């Protein structure tokens, strides 16, 4: 009778240990649960294992009680070996998993240009593992009316808040003069070339050559020259874009459009303008989605596009 009871305890012990090991592996390596919860679960399993181990040995008889200590040592050794094995598999998995190798650079003349033109696409590709970087060439001081200097205005803070919503890997804001970029072509081109060397992007988003804003057209021209070795260059639209803009490349942003709207709402100093209304932004995305045969999309004119880069 005692041996049968001992066998039952032993089986339960082994089942608990196996569950604890697999729970630890799948939830650390697969990242399905957070560590505090995981720790409590595994501590509970291992505690049960030790309790059942002692009960198992005691069930074999008091004359074999010395085996209880032997069992405890064996259980500890088993746990250490299990943890070491899991650590080995984890490290091997980390070595086998390549770091993100693809990057996107979005270029805008002013704060909010990137959000309007490709904000949802940036988040879409960020979710796919791309590194996403934004380069804003001015702080948009003219958009505030009277502002003391380009370095001190709320639009810089708003841009960083919008970047957080889009989960950008980095956001850089430079100090070229708002509405005065036409005389700074060489400097703008050099700044874009520096960003390309730094981030080595596979894809660059920028303004289009139809835009009515002189800063936007200047940034477009400088980008095309600076991106001569970038595989994919896509031009986005914004509120200053005329009807001549006819996209030939689309990104399905059905799952990210609400975040684009949230990012734009971060620019609170500008939201009084009619083109910031969420229903207008959603309508444009609906039109582009209809053209692309999806629910919502952002549309671009491709200077060139390599599908493998996306």
What is the domain partition of the chain in residue ranges? Answer: 2-96, 103-309
Residue 178 φ then ψ, to 5°: -65, 130
What residues contact residue 150 under an 8 Å CB cut-off, 6+ apart? 138, 139, 141, 175, 177, 178
pLDDT confidence of 2, banded at 50, 70, 90?
very low
Q: What is the pLDDT of residue 144?
A: 72
Cα atoms found within 13 Å of the Cα of residue 115, Cβ hemisphere only: 30
> What gap in Å lies between CA 226 and CA 194, rounded to an integer?
9
pLDDT at 197 over 60: yes
Taking a C-beta distance cutoff of 8 angstroms, is the pair 260, 119 a contact?
A: yes
According to the per-residue pLDDT averaged within each range, which of 12-16, 38-42, 151-155, 304-308 is highest? 304-308
Which of 248, 209, 201 is CA-nearest to residue 226?
201
Domain 103-309 -> CATH class: alpha beta
User: Which range is least confidently modeled, 57-61, 138-142, 170-174?
Assistant: 57-61
pLDDT per residue as tens digits for the range 161-193: 999 999 999 999 999 999 999 999 999 999 999
pLDDT band at 101 (very low <50, low <70, confident <90, very high): confident
CA 2 to centroid of chain Cα atoms: 58
The Cα–Cα gap between 112 and 119 comes to 9
The pLDDT score that the predictor gives to residue 115 is 98
pLDDT at residue 86 greater than cutoff 80: no
Mean pLDDT of 215-240: 96
Average pLDDT across the chain, whole number: 80
pLDDT at 65: 47
Q: What is the pLDDT of residue 28?
A: 45
């Amino acid at each position: 009778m005692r041996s049968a009871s001992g066998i039952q305890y032993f089986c339960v012990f082994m089942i608990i240990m196996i569950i604890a090991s697999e729970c630890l592996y799948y939830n650390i390596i697969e990242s399905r649960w957070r560590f505090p919860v995981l720790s409590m679960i595994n501590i509970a399993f291992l505690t049960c294992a030790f309790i059942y181990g002692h009960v198992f040995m005691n069930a074999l008889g008091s004359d074999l009680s010395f085996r209880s200590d032997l069992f405890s040592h064996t259980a500890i050794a088993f746990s250490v070996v299990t943890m070491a094995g899991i650590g080995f598999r984890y490290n091997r998995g980390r070595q086998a998993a390549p770091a993100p190798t693809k990057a996107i650079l979005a270029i805008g003349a002013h704060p909010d240009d990137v959000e309007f033109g490709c904000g949802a696409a940036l988040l879409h590709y960020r979710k796919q593992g791309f590194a996403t970087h934004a380069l804003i060439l001015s702080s948009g001081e003219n958009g505030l009316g009277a502002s003391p200097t380009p370095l001190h205005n709320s639009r810089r803070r708003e841009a960083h808040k919008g970047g957080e919503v889009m989960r950008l890997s980095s956001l850089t804001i430079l100090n070229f003069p708002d509405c005065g970029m036409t005389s700074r072509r060489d400097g703008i081109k050099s700044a874009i070339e520096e960003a390309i060397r730094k981030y080595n992007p596979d894809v660059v988003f920028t303004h289009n050559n139809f835009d009515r804003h002189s800063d936007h057209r200047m940034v477009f021209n400088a980008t095309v020259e600076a991106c001569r070795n970038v595989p994919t260059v896509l031009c986005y639209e914004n509120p200053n874009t005329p009807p001549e803009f006819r996209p030939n490349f689309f990104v399905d942003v059905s799952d990210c459009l609400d975040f684009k709207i949230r990012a734009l709402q971060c620019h609170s100093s500008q939201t009084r303008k009619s083109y910031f209304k969420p229903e207008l932004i959603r309508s444009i995305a609906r039109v582009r989605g209809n053209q692309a045969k999806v629910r919502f999309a952002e549309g671009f004119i491709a200077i060139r596009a390599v599908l493998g880069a996306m």
